[in-house]
Structure 1
């Protein structure tokens, strides 16, 4: 119930007509992070999405943990790369030591 209320608040407060773009930080650049970024960018046009990760490169195990003979799975990197062109990836950042949750909350809406 609280989540539903939050969605309504976000939709009203950060509509595409708002002069202030929605600023979102996603922690983790695995598949779930990029799918979330893709959905946010589609839903809230003009939003600014940053993705931070403790690793220096994005895409998590899709990049480094999928065998070469699983081409269908590897092809999602193309989809994630298109999303990455519309947001900013910041690698080598560890939540808690490189930046605190309080600092993230000051910098981003969500």
Structure 2
């Protein structure tokens, strides 16, 4: 997840998109599947960790753009170039369950257009 602090400085941001290829080994550690020691051993003993790296055009804060919008714009540029799914959260979401209120709101947002189409027919 992009933290907005770096984007509040008004500096030029040089985005870099990195996408790991799992051809030899998965570079990401899943703490639910293996210990860190086993993951580290696996990384050190496989032939290579393969990744594609793209150095993208430097980006600046546009007039009237908030630091949060700037961060989202840079995140979108990176995700499009690397072919990654754009998500608004970091990897720690897997450790917690969404609140019932949040889940109900998402279900309602999904159900409304379905029900509208159902009533039209």
State the TM-score bracket (shorter-chain normalisation). under 0.3
Give the structure with higher Rg (CA). 2
TM-score by length of 2: 0.22
TM-score by length of 1: 0.23
